[in-house]
Amino acid sequence: MIYLDYSATTPVDSRVLDAMLPYFTEFFGNPSSVHRYGQRAEFAVETARETTARMLNCQPGEIIFTSCGSESDNLALRGAAYAMREKTGANWILASRAEHPAVTKTLYHLEKYEGFRIEWLEVDGHGMVSPETVSKAICDNTAVVSVMYANNEIGTINPIRDIAEACRSRGVLFHTDAVQAAAYLPVDVQELGVDMMSLGAHKFYGPKGVGALYVRRGTPLFPHLTGGGQEFGLRAGTQNVSYIVGFAEALRLTGVEREKRTAQVAPLRDQIIGTVLEVIPKARLTGHPVARLPHHASFVFEHVDGNVLLTLLDAAGFACSSGSACKTGTPEPSEVMNAIGLPRAWGLGSLRVTLGSGTTSEHIESFLSLLPELVEKARRLK
């Protein structure tokens, strides 16, 4: 079986696992305890916070550890929406329609049950949000703007720096979901100019079930999990010490090895895109041809059922995806396919191929030698 679904999740790097293991057994204390068991665990969490802050170019006090990327998105959006409404009365939230469900579903909820107004920002045919679109949509009532750094389904990278600048010049909070981007793109929050940024470890060779939210000092934010005073009172609950240690080590390694990892996957990604568009009839690239994640190739095939194609690929020994992992099984085109304006006959036939540490050129050769006939077979089965 060949794994080509690194945007869904990645295996835990063995160096990350080694860093985590002592905190399950030897150093098992509760970081909030006063005694030395507690101090040792607290030291591990605070060291992880410092490492994370160094990688993001911010202060340790600006890092909130969470249980996953989705929770970071929830904390950022709910926390900022409630706090801004209380502070200024602003109750409009701006976000693009190509966001991950962790953002879109959270916003649906805020709209339906909490009385906020959501304005959906247009994306272009590549799924990109322009700074001008954001500028035009901002008004006195805008509480927070959320635009993802890179898209999980189609790989497009948004001009986050310029969008952040557009928000900052109008005094509006800006959040970015960088869960997918962090594996390959720079995450210097000063350079990006963001107020909040979500991360999740399992997209960059850390464990599932741990994430972080960067919150610029002074950003108004309500806690969304109440209880003890952990995480500066913003996220109650005893910290998951070993996973937090794993998060920081995975992020550190990603920072150190970013160029090497990019150099491994980008040429293979280009080979996939080139061959698919050349060899397979009625195939289109989804997402931006240039401003895209280096490990990410995504397509639509007309008159193909994406799930049928995935099943055929799986039977042939290849693990791919038809978009976001959460979408598999749904017989409708994803919201991202709709947002980029694809007709149904195309949008249903999406395929995402994402590469990573275990990918070799032999894997890609054998994948590409098989894919054209599987697409044809899927077309006949439709």
Residues with catalytic function: 326
Given candidates 55, 68, 304, 348, which one binds ligand PLP under the rule CB under 6 A? 68
Which window, 40-48, 74-82, 174-182, 214-222, contacts ligand PLP (CB under 6 A)? 174-182
Q: H or E segment at 84?
A: helix 69-88
CA 283, 351, 109, 225: dihedral to nearest 10 degrees? -150
**In this complex, which beta carbon is closest to ligand PLP, that of residue 247 or of residue 299?**
247
Q: Does 177 bind ligand PLP (CB under 6 A)?
A: yes
Q: Does 179 bind ligand PLP (CB under 6 A)?
A: yes
Q: Does 206 bind ligand PLP (CB under 6 A)?
A: no
Q: Does 31 bind ligand PLP (CB under 6 A)?
A: no
Which window, 122-130, 173-181, 224-232, 342-350, contacts ligand PLP (CB under 6 A)? 173-181
Distance CA(71)–CA(68), nearest Å, equals: 5
**In this complex, which beta carbon is closest to ligand PLP, that of residue 103 or of residue 134?**
103
Q: Does 127 bind ligand PLP (CB under 6 A)?
A: no
**CB of 199: closest distance to ligand PLP in angstroms?**
9
Distance CA(223)–CA(213), nearest Å, equals: 12
**In this complex, which beta carbon is closest to ligand PLP, that of residue 100 or of residue 269?**
100
- Where are any strands of DSSP class E within the chain? 2-3, 63-66, 92-96, 117-121, 142-146, 173-177, 196-200, 211-215, 283-285, 296-301, 318-319, 350-354
Q: Which among 180, 176, 173, 187 has a CA at the least distance from the CA of 222?
A: 173
Which window, 54-62, 196-204, 283-291, 336-344, contacts ligand PLP (CB under 6 A)? 196-204
Given candidates 85, 100, 261, 292, which one binds ligand PLP under the rule CB under 6 A? 100
Contact 158, 148 (CB under 8 A): yes
Which window, 16-24, 25-33, 67-75, 348-356, contacts ligand PLP (CB under 6 A)? 67-75
**In this complex, which beta carbon is closest to ligand PLP, that of residue 5 or of residue 62?**
5
Distances in whole angstroms, Cα of residue 65 to Cα of each of 20, 48, 106, 110, 178? 16, 10, 19, 23, 15
**In this complex, which beta carbon is closest to ligand PLP, that of residue 258 or of residue 379?**
258
Handedness of CA 179, 181, 186, 191 (dihedral sign): negative
Q: What is the separation of C-alpha 100 from the centre of its chain, rounded to a whole number of angstroms?
A: 8
Considering only residues 293 to 312 of the shown chain, the ones binding ligand PLP according to CB under 6 A are none
Q: Does 69 bind ligand PLP (CB under 6 A)?
A: yes
Q: Does 133 bind ligand PLP (CB under 6 A)?
A: no
Distance CA(38)–CA(31), nearest Å, equals: 5
Q: H or E segment at 73?
A: helix 69-88
Q: Does 155 bind ligand PLP (CB under 6 A)?
A: no
- Give the tokens for residue 104: 């879109």
Contact 99, 145 (CB under 8 A): no
Q: Does 334 bind ligand PLP (CB under 6 A)?
A: no
Binding site for ligand PLP (CB under 6 A): 68-70, 100, 102, 148, 152, 177, 179-180, 200, 202-203, 211
